[in-house]
A = this chain, B = another copy of it.
Amino acid sequence: MTPINLAEKLAQISTHWDPHVIAAYNGNDIMVVKFQGEFPYHLHENTDDFFLVLRGEMVMDLQGESHAVRTGEIFVVPQGVTHRPRADKECEVLLIEPKGEPNTGDLATASAKPHL
């Protein structure tokens, strides 16, 4: 039981779209990730997807609408909703998903989500 500094954890990450687990909450992975560019459209069949922008700005594309999500803003994508995060400039995000959930919604194409 110790405080976890988000900036220190993010400083250890040099890749984009590569979530790293920094804590656990009731079977969920608490992760930090850097976004830049465009992630593929995907959905999570059995879980909501939680995003909090810590630095910078991202866009959440849904099918038919897009939302800018800025520093200090949360966006929760409900279970089953197809979405695509993207960011013109590098953006830092706190992400929450159930432990083991693939970031693409599909194990075959997912990142490994190492612990920091």
* A→B interface (CB under 8 Å): 1-7, 22-26, 28, 30, 47-48, 50, 52, 54, 60, 62, 65, 67-70, 72-79, 81, 94, 96, 98
Residue of B nearest to A79 (CB): B26
Copies in the complex: 2
Secondary structure call for the A interface? strand
Rounded to whole angstroms, the CA-CA distance of A48 and B48 in the bound complex is: 19
User: Apart from A3-B75, A30-B76, what 18 extra A-B contacts exist at CB < 8 Å?
Assistant: A1-B62, A1-B67, A1-B77, A1-B78, A1-B81, A3-B68, A3-B73, A3-B74, A4-B73, A4-B75, A5-B70, A6-B72, A6-B73, A6-B74, A23-B74, A23-B76, A25-B96, A52-B94
| Given A23-B76, A76-B25: A3 touches B98 (CB 8 Å cut-off) | no
